[in-house]
Structure 1
Amino acid sequence: MKILILLVLASGCTQKYADYDLIRKVDFNKESYERPVPATQVMAQGKDELKECFNQWLFFSNAQKQKEQRTPEFVRALCPGKDYLVNANFTETWWTTLIFTQACIDIQTLCGETRKQNQN
């Protein structure tokens, strides 16, 4: 029973949310995000979602660092064939105990289709 109480007291959990109204996939950087200004209008068409978790036992890896490094890769993998993501919602979850840590990211987005310009 003492071990269970110790584990509860020695654990932590956090959840972070971020919303981006428009992401150009090839340029996305979460730390220095600037909203792109596309030359043509971008319309939402279809949706996509990705959820990935990284595990860490003791100090043999860094789950949070792995998640941060792979996030741009995940963004590029969403909505194949599209250059933009519209109304992307990021939910990052991190929890830890004395011996185990898990860092997860869940991205839900609409796919951005660029509108063709009329040639007159």
Structure 2
Amino acid sequence: MKNLLILLALVGCTKKYADYDLIRKVDFNKESYERPITLTKIVPVGNDQLEACFNQWLFFSNAEKEKDSAIPFLVRSLCPGKDYLLQAEMTEQWWTTIIFTRSCVNVETKCAEARKGN
């Protein structure tokens, strides 16, 4: 029982949420996001979801850094054949113990395309 209490004291976790109303996939940068300005109407044409997790044992890699560098590629792989994402919700989760860390990102979005005209 004592070991379980010690282990619980040495576990940390966090969860971050971010919402993006419109993403142009090729230009997406989480750190410097600016909503794209479009001259055409953007309409939803379906939904997509993707989750990726990265593990770290001791100090042999950096799961958080791997996750952060993978996010632009994950966003680009959503909704194949479409240039835009609408109402994207990104959830980042991270938890750690002394010897193991896991960092995950989940993106849920509506696929979108540009249509000319009204």
Q: CA RMSD in A?
A: 1.0
Q: Which runs of 4+ in 1 moved over 3 A?
A: none
Instruction: Give the superposition deviation at 1:78.
Output: 0.2
1:18-71 CA-to-partner distances (Å, cap 9, x unmatched) read 000000000000000000011211011100000110000011000000000000
AA at the equivalent of 1:89: E
1:116 deviation in Å? 2.9
Per the TM alignment, residue 3 of structure 1 is displaced from its structure 2 partner at its CA by 2.2
Count of aligned residue pairs for this structure pair? 118
Amino acid at match of 2:86: V
Task: Give the structure-2-normalised TM-score.
Answer: 0.96
In structure 1, the partner of 2:83 is: 83
Counterpart in the other structure of 1:96? 96
Aligned residue for 1:27? 27
In 2: Cα distance, 1:47 partner to 1:70 partner: 21
Aligned partner of 1:37 in structure 2 is 37
Secondary structure at 2:113's aligned position in 1?
strand
- Give the TM-score taking structure 1 as reference length: 0.95
> 2:15, 2:72 → 1: CA distance?
19
SS in structure 2 at match of 1:82: coil
Counterpart secondary structure, 2:69: helix
Cα distance in 2 between the residues matched to 1:84 and 1:111: 7
Give the secondary-structure state (helix, strand or coil) at the position aligned to 1:5.
helix
Corresponding residue for 1:108?
108
Q: Give me the whole-angstrom Cα distance separating, in 1, the residues matched to 2:45 and 2:112.
A: 6
Counterpart-to-counterpart distance in 1, 2:93 and 2:82 = 27
Q: Unpaired runs of 5+ in structure 1?
A: none
